[in-house]
Structure 1
Amino acid sequence: MGILVSIDNGGTLTDVCALKRAGDEPGELFFGKTLTTPHDLSQCFMDALKVLSERIYGEADLQRLASEIEYIRYSTTQGTNALVQRKGPRLGVIAGSQADIDALKSGEEEADLFAAVVADRTSIIDMSGDDESVRRRVAETVNDLTARGANRVIVSFSGDNAKAEEDRFRKLIYREFPRHLLGAVPLIFGTEMSTTEDRVKRTWAAMLNSFLHPAMEHFLYNAEDQLRALRTRNPLLIFRNDGGSTRVARTVALNTYSSGPRGGVEGALTLLGHYGIKNAVSMDIGGTTTDIAVFSDNGVREQEFGLVEGIPVPFRLADMHSVGAGGSTMMSTADGKVKVGPESAGAAPGPACFGRGGTSPTFTDVLLLSGFIDPASYFGGQLALDAERAKKAVMEKVAEPLGLSLEDALTAISDAYHDKIADAMRPEVEAHPDMVLLAFGGAGPISGCGVADRLGLKRVLVPRLSAVFSAFGIGFSDIADSFVEVLNGTDAAAIQTAAGELLKQARRGMKAEGFDLDNCELSSALVTGEGEDRQSTPIDIQNINGAQPAAGTRLVLTVTRPIAHFSLKQGEPDGTQPATADGARAGIFGEMPLYKVDNFKPGDTGDGPAIVEDELFTCAVPEGWSFSVTANGDIDLRKA
């Protein structure tokens, strides 16, 4: 038994959540936040652990915390940040024809990112001929790209012989430039990244992974070294965008992209299952964006080809989309109306009320001036807010340009903000009007009912750990990995051969994670087609007699090593009783009763208008809505 820790590194804030277990008891949850330090993410990683140790022990004691930690699961924005900021290595691309190069730039998103990370560093090579002549061409091509500034090279060929040609290129180039030499340029091959027949998708996967790899490698190994210095029991686990976790050395950089929002999905799946809710839509509102996901029949909707910066890649990802609306989203005017974002003030300079140099009004400034948040207790009292700076920003940037009073400007901003989020969710909700809205993130609960009203939804669920819900969700992840082989035949013998190879790979992989394959859970499937034509048939690789797979079938082996999870409190409240208000809060729109989450008991109920306040989030309960507190401490809001 020990402490389970999960950390979600967001664009503005870094969240930490931990379960301290003892014996068979459910354990005690601790959580906190710290400001993200984009210049050095290892700093906010360690700051989060420091905050956690203060919560658990009453003082900062990283050494003691490290000695009690069982596992740390971690999601990072490093990859997302690198792509958004276009900060990474200069890539070079080698292909078999100019048409193959051009196909990589066929869309607007593809052309834009290609220009940023590859530019003109491309080469065409003819792989026909004897080894000596091809070896010379290979060496000349790589030398040409490095001379033009490429410090990482992607090699990707098309056609049925793509893998064979890439294998030949690899053999010849490493004969010319052995990998142990300082001048050896890192190479990545398209068929190494994916078995998909779609060359464009697998090439983009290779390019994106190459672009993300150096920064990820430096940062994550630095974080792991700091943990090792503290003598933690187990290696750092990196939470991936497919819901699994692996240690740093076995993590593919591309699989970290948008992994934080996936943590919210894992938490949502657990919570929705706990309450028996089949159809739901979630909104995870942080400082910069609102991440939206759709759930049906106890699962999350996924894309066969996930999108990375709008570019399809050959990996299944949760079908999530983001809207530029969050607590730090900057407000302005355009065409006589309020304009919401997409620019964000982030943590630095942050909203005007932070007093750190920000001059544009944000939704946080609006909430402060409207009386929904307390300037003295915001962010657990760690960050005092300046209402005068917020007022000045709203008046100068919105109220005066539109000829509005302060009150009307606040209403206009709030309406525009909630409209933007609701409009992004409307297509999903119109098809399923019985959906439940799951509102989380630091800025999610304050907007839950406002967005639900615009969508005609009657129920909103706010998790008790809403402010750190993605970090909480990461705590339900297991150590997992998948292995894929394309069958070289259409009979049971081909499956047997592939299964033998996959089991070898899986055994090596899980040994690197510190586990024996015999202690893991295995599942396998025969997969044909891609995209909408994809079909997956479960198969027992120990019993494959009579199987007749189609040509090109892929055998997929998924290996899972369950590890300890966070937990939810079971059962129903013993009864219901009116919640006791902890006072009232006066705002520009009047006075409302105030309820403190820390003082709630299971079964507490109340009616709006009201404010429900946690240390790290605020929930607005408008008139016509009521709330009840579940046995797990979650807030269940219903429209009359």
Structure 2
Amino acid sequence: MGFYVGIDVGGTFTDVCVADQAGQISMYKTPTLPDIASGVVDGLRMAAQAQGLELGSFLEQVERFGHGSTVAVNALLQRKGARVGLLTTRGFADTLWIARMMAMTTGLPPEHYTHYRRRQRPDPLMERALVREVEERIDYRGAVVVALNVEGARRAIRELIDEGVEALAVCTLWSFRNPQHERMLRDLAREMAPGLYVSVSSELIPVIKEYERMATTVANAYLGPVVRGYVAGMSKQLSDAGLRKEFFMLNSVGGVIPPEEAGLKPIQLLSSGPSGGALASQLLAKRLNQSNVLIADMGGTSFDAGLVVGGELLLQTEASVGNLNLLNPMIGIRSIGTGGGSIAAGVDGMLKVGPQSAGSFPGPACYGRGGERPTVTDADLVLGLLDPQYFLSGKMPLDVEAAKRVIARHVAEPLGLSLLDAAAGIREVAEQQMADVLRQSALERGYDPRDFCLFAYGGAGPLHACAFGRETGVRSIVVPFAAPVFSAHGILAADMRLSRQRSILQRSRGNAKARAEGLDGAAIETVFRELDAEVDEAFRRYGSYDTTSQYRLRSVSMRYSRQVHEVPVAINGPLSDAGGVDRLVAGFDAIYEQRYGKGTGSRSAVIEITNCHLQLVQVLPKVVHRVPDPKGPLAPAGRRRVYLKGWVEVPVYRWEKLPLGSRFPGPALVDAPGTTVWVGDDFNATVDDLGNLCMEVGS
């Protein structure tokens, strides 16, 4: 029997999803350990025991192993990366420190916009003393204006090596038009220090935007040694435990990549975990014939929101990670520090929840591991929404008295509230924060969230979905069958995806009667042929090239002249024929007005094309999961007292015992081994034929 394994390492729990050849799905959760690889092996050991196998025997039967991890984003946010040196063009050593005007608020919540003049630009990921300027210059056309001073470059590299840098970033002006000098610097560095990690902007992200390109190149260098060490350690532990197949890492566009690609371009892993849930949401949306879906993933540490529109995930080519602007293709996901482990406190007469998290160690106070700060999970327990004896199927009993004690000390007493009102307040603030993010995710792209179905998952999401769904205005909510480990479930279904992009600078002539005049479709096709060759070579290098199961996604970034931000426009046909570029311009018009409102476009404005984007997708075998149907009558497993502006007693169902097709009204609770679902009093619940719990607002 062969197994397919998907693992998602979160800030609080490590989720394991296993599918056998018959499609039977098994789900496991284990606390995330400081040594991530050891936590992964613990999760695999749980899965093996459930199959009645020794760990080695289980791993020998694994056909496919996919892994999503927070290692890259944690290293970036916690500033625990490598010591980086930077080589750049003479006169531009301060680019990272000058940054952009908006750098002072990039990635920060709106409440941080106050006192703007007092805010400071974020510190770069490297020391100013480790920047070295080299004598060279290439102009905007790609012509060499000043040849590279090779001896000066050698001296600069030697100085950085003597300073003890662990990685080197190479980013010179206009290198995306002509990478000659960057390649020479790369070769010099590898000759002088063969083991040094080198990140080269023209290889990593050859696109326009000077500051963002440099910040991304430095971030990649900062993460390189960390991710390479992580991948090597994980590979060794898994191999020693018995895994014979190569494991794949999940990247930020919802595809899996080999460990070599992850080590070469670790920047791809910054949204590794959340993209698994987004991918699973897209696939489930297609099975349920839901074209527009709001994605809501609430785990122990964070809340991630995104969109499926017209059955497709929305991608972005530029993203804020922490407070850095990076050029990195990823699924459009907005994250905030609101999760089950988010810490609550009464401060200056206000109740605040997050973004700090208790993590898995010590975790919420109710975990009994020494946590002394109240969290959302503690509040849910005090309000009766969680069964203290059934958390993680009873493997992890919860301490109600500890939760009451910390809520009273840190929230109720400072704010002059009763214990129950304080707990209810924690829950309400968290739910409002999540509803705000969901609304923003839709509205900023020009969509009305009330026109969407909501998919809620993660260990904590289903318990709060009715509340933040109600605030968002949706009328239907789906809690997937694999909700507790939905991101890991998505990894099981991920195909191999490699992304590449390159700048191409074109301008139309602003002719209202011939909108595409001045845009060269043949030149765009030439760039895509070069990108095709690049990804084809990469797939062959990784030994995963099979043209019978491939497809390619192409898009360009477009904007009106003098605008700063672009919108991505998909290419669905050849551009070299007579109407190809006209179709592209029409697509830009439609997307622009969808995002910014009807009438915001201009038929006489100059249109610019700035970047070409390519994804090569290698389709991998998948298992269609088989849903058990327990049959029999619908019956609650018991009843529980819940505080909702007063105590009420509600029925409690066990998810694994709900017959397919069964229906029941709220208020009710549904307990599952890795999550609990709250069915609000204004919702009716149905178990569909895929085992999902679907909730509709009652009439």
TM-score (norm 2): 0.82
Question: 2:571 matched to which residue of 1?
Answer: 537
> Which stretch shifts more, 518-527 or 152-161?
518-527
| Partner-residue secondary structure (3-state), 1:356 | coil
Structure 2 CA distance for aligned equivalents of residues 337 and 556 of structure 1: 46
- Say which SS state the counterpart of residue 268 (structure 2) adopts: helix
Q: Distance in 1 between matches of 2:408 and 2:268?
A: 44
**Structure 2 residue 163 is matched with structure 1 residue 186:** no
The alignment partner of 2:295 has SS state of strand
Matched with 1:123 is: 132
Q: Which amino acid aligns with 1:247?
A: P
- How has the CA–CA distance of structure 1 residues 100 and 583 changed in structure 2, closer, same or farther, with 3 Å as cutoff? same
Which 10-residue stretch deviates more, 202-211 or 628-637? 202-211
Per the TM alignment, residue 327 of structure 1 is displaced from its structure 2 partner at its CA by: 0.7
CA–CA distance in structure 2, aligned partners of residues 607 and 186 of structure 1: 58
Q: Deviations over 1:598-626 (max 9, x none)?
A: 10111111111111110111111122221
Find out whether 1:68 has 2:84 as its counterpart: no
> Which letter does structure 2 place at the counterpart of 1:139?
R
**Equivalent residue letter for 2:455:** L
- Tell me which residue corresponds to 1:256: 269
Match of 1:219 among 219, 230, 241: 230
2:76 aligns with 83
Within 1, Cα distance between the matches of 2:545 and 2:182?
33
1:44 maps to amino acid: G
Quick one: distance in 1 between partners of 2:145 and 2:476? 69
Moved more, 216-225 or 524-533: 524-533
Residue 203 of structure 1 and its aligned partner are, at CA, apart by 1.7
> Is the aligned partner of 1:613 residue 2:626?
no
The 1:519–1:114 alpha-carbon spacing in structure 2 relative to 1, beyond 3 Å, is farther
Quote how far apart the aligned CAs of 1:173 are.
4.8
Aligned to 1:628, the other structure's residue is in SS state strand
d(CA) in 2 for partners of 1:598 and 1:140? 67
In 1, the alpha carbon distance for the partners of 2:68 and 2:62 equals 17
Q: 2:357 aligns with which of 312, 320, 344?
A: 344
Distance 2:251 2:615 in 1: 15
* Deviation for aligned residue 1:325: 1.3
The reply on whether 1:603 has 2:619 as its aligned counterpart is no
Contact 2:450 2:475 in 1 (8 A): no
Which residue does the alignment assign to 2:635? 580
Distance 1:133 1:565 in 2: 50
1:231-242 superposed matches below 5 A: 231-242=242-253
Q: Does 1:277 align with 2:332?
A: no
Give the aligned residue type for 1:197.
Answer: I
Residues 193 and 202 in structure 1, CA contact (< 8 A), matched pair in contact too: no
Which residue identity lines up with residue 206 of structure 1 in the other structure? T
Tell me whether 1:42 sits opposite 2:37 in the alignment: yes
Deviation (angstroms), 1:498: 6.4
Tell me, yes or no, if the aligned pair for 2:88 and 2:133 is still in contact at 8 Å. yes
Question: Displacement, 1:520?
Answer: 3.8
What runs of 5+ residues in structure 2 fail to find an aligned partner?
107-119, 138-143, 507-518, 560-564, 585-606
Matches of 1:201 and 1:328, distance apart in 2 = 33
Q: 1:509 — aligned with what? A: 538
Alignment RMSD (CA, Å): 3.4
Offset, 1:408? 1.9
Deviations 1:167-205 (A, max 9, x none): 33335555xx4454x6xx433221111121223222222
Q: Kindly tell me: are residues 400 and 231 of structure 1, through their superposed partners in 2, closer, same or farther at Cα, counting changes over 3 Å?
A: closer
- Measure how far apart 1:157 and its partner are: 1.0
Question: Aligned with 2:451: secondary structure?
Answer: coil
The question of whether the paired residues in 2 share the 8 Å contact of 1:507 and 1:517 is answered with: no
Partners in 2 of 1:135 and 1:179 — Cα distance? 16
Contact 2:15 2:485 in 1 (8 A): yes
Distance change >3 Å, CA 269–CA 423, structure 1 → 2:
same
* Unaligned segments of structure 1, at least 5 residues: none
CA distance in 2, matches of 1:226, 1:189: 30
Q: What secondary structure is seen at the aligned counterpart in 1 of 2:174?
A: coil
- Which moved further from structure 2: 614-623 or 522-531? 522-531
Contact in 2 for aligned 1:272/1:278 (Cα 8 Å): yes
Stretch moving more, 148-157 or 246-255 = 148-157
1:562-581 correspondence to structure 2 within 5 Å: 562-568=619-625, 579-581=634-636
AA paired with 1:579?
A: L
1:456 aligns with 2:473: yes
Distance 1:634-1:528 versus aligned 2 partners, 3 A rule: closer
Quick one: which of 283, 289, 295 aligns to 2:302? 289
Q: Quote how far apart the aligned CAs of 1:113 are.
A: 5.2
**Is 1:524–1:540's contact at 8 Å kept on the other side of the alignment?**
no
Alignment of 1:460-475 (within 5 A): 460-475=477-492
Report the residue type matching 2:617 in the other structure. Answer: T
Q: Which amino acid aligns with 2:94?
A: I
Compute the TM-score of the two structures, normalised by the length of structure 1. 0.89
Alpha-carbon offset, residue 347 of structure 1: 0.6
3-state DSSP of counterpart to 1:45: helix
> How many Å separate the matches in 2 of 1:621 and 1:214?
46
Farther-moved stretch of structure 1 (293-302 vs 73-82)? 293-302
1:26-41 map, 5 Å: 27-38=23-34, 40-41=35-36
Corresponding residue SS for 1:306? strand
Distance 1:2 1:120, change over 3 A: same
Match for 2:368 among 352, 355, 359? 355
- Take 1:73 and 1:378, find their aligned partners in 2: how far apart are those partners? 27
1:565 positional shift: 2.1
Q: Residues 199-214 of structure 1 correspond to what in structure 2 (within 5 A)?
A: 199-214=210-225
SS at match of 2:19: strand
Aligned residue for 2:327, secondary structure, equals coil
Distance 1:192 1:577, change over 3 A: same
Q: Answer yes or no: is the 8 Å Cα contact 2:84–2:218 preserved in 1.
A: yes
Q: Which amino acid aligns with 2:421?
A: D
Letter in 1 for 2:61: E
Structure 1 residues 614, 551: closer, same or farther in 2, change over 3 A? closer
The offset of 1:270, in angstroms, is 1.1
Question: Which letter maps to 1:13?
Answer: F
From the superposition, tell whether residues 569 and 65 of structure 1 become closer, same or farther in structure 2 (CA, over 3 Å).
closer
Alignment of 1:10-25 (within 5 A): 10-22=10-22
**Letter of the structure 2 residue corresponding to residue 246 of structure 1:** I
- Is 1:439 the equivalent of 2:439? no
CA distance in 1, matches of 2:463, 2:147: 68
Partner SS, residue 359 of structure 2 = coil
Q: Offset at 1:563?
A: 1.5
- Residue 181 of structure 2 corresponds to which residue in structure 1? 165
Of residues 309, 320, 338, the one that matches 2:333 is: 320
C-alpha displacement of 1:363: 1.2
What is aligned with 2:599?
none
CA distance in 1, matches of 2:291, 2:624: 20
CA distance in 2, matches of 1:492, 1:409: 61
2:307–2:442 CA contact under 8 A, matched in 1: no
Secondary structure, counterpart of 2:63 in structure 1 = strand
Matches of 1:125 and 1:155, distance apart in 2? 10
Q: Return 472-481 or 72-81, whichever deviates more.
A: 472-481
Between the aligned partners of 1:618 and 1:438, the Cα distance in structure 2 is 15
SS in 2 for 1:217: helix
Q: Is the 8 A contact 1:522 1:557 kept in 2?
A: no
Residue aligned with 1:314, SS = strand
Question: CA-to-partner distance for each residue in 1:317-353, whole Å, 9 max, x for gaps?
Answer: 2221112211111111123232112211111111111
1:570-628 per-residue CA deviation (whole Å, 9 max, x = no partner) reads: 99x99x99731111123452321110001011111111111111011111112222111
**Residues in 2 aligned to 1:503 and 1:420: alpha-carbon distance in whole angstroms:** 42
Q: Which residue of 2 aligns with 1:379?
A: 392
- Given that 1:285 and 1:443 are in contact with CA atoms closer than 8 Å, whether structure 2 keeps it comes out as yes
Q: Which amino acid aligns with 1:537?
A: I
Identity of counterpart residues, as a percentage? 26
8 A Cα contact 1:201 1:314, kept in partner: yes
Tell me the equivalent position of 2:693: 635
1 CA distance for matches of 2:121 and 2:163?
A: 20
**How many Å separate the matches in 2 of 1:524 and 1:309?**
29
Shift of 1:237: 0.7
Shift of 1:256: 0.9
State the 1:569 CA deviation: 5.8
User: What CA distance in whole angstroms lies between the structure 2 residues aligned with 1:304 and 1:56?
Assistant: 42
